Structure 1
């Protein structure tokens, strides 16, 4: 026989373990906040852009579709060359970076919009000023080296990276981490609440007796504590009290 659980029972389980669920959720949020603000190193990004134009453009000659298509095909090649040792080793030496060109390669992203001749070079570093220097130096070095590498001169710097007064970190994102931690803590708390309820074999209600022992409940013995006896809150005490008053009334009459 399959057991089913009603919506009311679900709410009862959540209500019963509400303190556990709240504790896990708040704990997860606090841990995420502490790790994000005090343990994770913030990183910053800076971007520089260049455009692929016609080789040695002549002001009197206009672009045609064939020239643009050729330039677009070159962009994929340029994206590979930018992250090659030929370019990045010069950047490492010029900026005197404390890591190799392979490590620098992992800090650089090269992207271009579809059907666009504009290429964006993004550098990531723990130092915002160094991120700006890496982005600009990489594009400048590429512009200087590309004529010797491919015998073309069709790269022009469109926008150089600049250092702002208050650079915003790209990672970690404390608010996002806290939000994710809250969701995970809530899920774990609810799951743990139902697991504990499933593992709880204690008999606490009349329904538990009927379900576990398959016998009907004939009666329930009410628990009476000392405070109820002192305050005469039990039904028996109330009846005795009312009886005593009646006898006293009869004698008075």
Structure 2
């Protein structure tokens, strides 16, 4: 099959291709805008360094490298059940520690002692209040377990303006691609199943016999 044949098949079923593709995008848009509940992520940034015993004492290179490695341990402490429990008790929340842990994510800035604690929830004010309190409870717990560190909040979380889910544009773009691929697949499947002969070239191609004449279609 040559490129001209492929283009001819697509042109012949362009209405089908367009309809399926457009409907896929419309359905994705309706689901993204009206059916999926938006979720917001609120993030608090924290730095972990060595506790300075003397005024004016400077951090050594080895200290920096050590705490860059230790920050992974601190991230695990932040995700612990104990920190979740303390946060729930402190705020009087009516949720289980496991539920709070599922909302929580931590990230570490590469080659730094900076970590980020995030809470994702459908209520953006709830997410902000919880992540700020959880960060404070994390610092208390971390100081109990690793008293040599100096943990400070760089920036408290602010109420996010826009949701992180659903990703509406991305969902619609994926729907467009899937709709287009599905419609093209269906188009070529229908063409493959269609065994009727419609042109003189098809007679010559399929039956290998010469065409000696054509009968024109005459309207009634």
TM-score (norm 1): 0.82
- The answer (yes or no) to whether the contact 1:146–1:152 under 8 Å persists in 2 is no
How far is 1:89 from its partner? Answer: 0.9
CA-to-partner distance for each residue in 1:93-144, whole Å, 9 max, x for gaps? Answer: 2233343222221211111112201111111111000110121111100112
Query: Which residue of structure 1 lines up, in the alignment, with residue 212 of structure 2?
Result: 218
2:74 paired with 1:78 = yes
* Post-superposition offset of 1:147: 2.2
Deviates most, 210-219 or 176-185: 210-219
Task: Say whether the 8 Å CA contact 1:49–1:160 is kept in structure 2.
Answer: yes
Gaps in structure 1 of 5+ consecutive residues: 227-253
Residue of structure 2 aligned with 1:122, choices 93, 111, 118 = 118
Q: Corresponding residue for 2:188? A: 194
Could you list the per-position Cα deviations for residues 18-62 of structure 1 after superposition, in whole angstroms to 9, with x for gaps in the alignment?
A: 000000010000000010011111000111011112224532211
Q: Which structure 2 residues correspond to residues 1-253 of structure 1 after superposition, within 5 A?
A: 5-163=1-159, 167-226=161-220
- The whole-number CA distance in structure 2 between the counterparts of 1:194 and 1:10 is 9
CA distance in 1 between partners of 2:39 and 2:93 (Å): 16
In the alignment, structure 2 segments of 5+ residues that lack a partner are none
Cα distance between partner residues in 2 of 1:9 and 1:69: 64
Distance 2:176 2:108 in 1: 36
The Cα RMSD (Å) is 1.5
Partner SS for 2:141 = helix
Query: Which one is further off, 154-163 or 66-75?
Result: 66-75
CA contact (8 A) 2:50 2:148 kept: no
Q: Aligned partners of 2:53 and 2:3: how far apart in 1? A: 73
Q: Secondary structure at the match of 1:224?
A: coil
- Distance in 2, Cα, partners of 1:62 & 1:160: 26
- The runs of at least 4 aligned residues of structure 1 exceeding 4 Å deviation read none
Moved more, 155-164 or 144-153: 144-153
Q: How many residues align?
A: 220
Query: Is the Cα contact below 8 Å between 1:107 and 1:123 reproduced in 2?
Result: yes
CA distance in 2, matches of 1:104, 1:116: 27
Secondary structure, in 3 states, of the residue corresponding to 1:38?
helix
